[in-house]
């Protein structure tokens, strides 16, 4: 029995799945690295081209969520508690 059909089917499924995963994974990084609109600089008071700090902020949000709990109390709650408090 030949496994050629299995390898052909695996290529047909694995390659599109790999490409889709790469696109979905790269989308947030591309959004972070994209330049922000110029009006945000005057409206919010930050530099629109400071991409390194935006990546650093993302890293802190992923690795040190306790830093953001003081300013954003809802981050410490369960999602169901947040929904109940909204009503």
Q: What is the pLDDT of residues 26-70, one digit of tens each?
A: 887 777 777 767 776 677 766 656 667 777 888 888 888 888 888
Instruction: Let me know: does 75 contact 65? Beta carbons within 8 Å.
Output: yes
Is 1 found in the same domain as 25?
A: yes
Is 28 found in the same domain as 9?
A: yes
What's the structural domain count of the chain? Answer: 2
Does residue 1 surpass a pLDDT of 60? no
Is 48 found in the same domain as 30?
A: no
Provide the whole-model pTM: 0.43
Which is higher by pLDDT, 49 or 75? 75
In terms of residue numbers, what domain contains 76? 36-87
Is 19 found in the same domain as 55?
A: no
What is the C-alpha to C-alpha distance for residues 49 and 55, in angstroms, rounded to an integer?
Answer: 12
- DSSP single-letter state for residue 35: P
Torsion on CA atoms 46, 47, 49, 54, rounded to nearest 10? -40
pLDDT at 15: 79
Name the maximum alpha-carbon separation found in the chain.
69
Instruction: Let me know: does 23 contact 17? Beta carbons within 8 Å.
Output: no
């Amino acid at each position: 029995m030949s496994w050629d059909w299995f390898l052909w089917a695996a290529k047909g499924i694995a390659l599109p799945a790999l490409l889709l995963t790469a696109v979905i994974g790269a989308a947030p990084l591309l959004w972070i690295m994209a330049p922000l609109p110029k009006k945000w600089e005057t409206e919010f008071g930050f530099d629109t081209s400071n991409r390194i700090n935006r990546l650093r902020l993302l890293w802190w949000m992923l690795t040190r969520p306790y830093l953001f709990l003081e300013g954003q109390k809802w981050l410490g709650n369960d999602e169901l508690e947040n929904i109940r408090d909204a009503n």
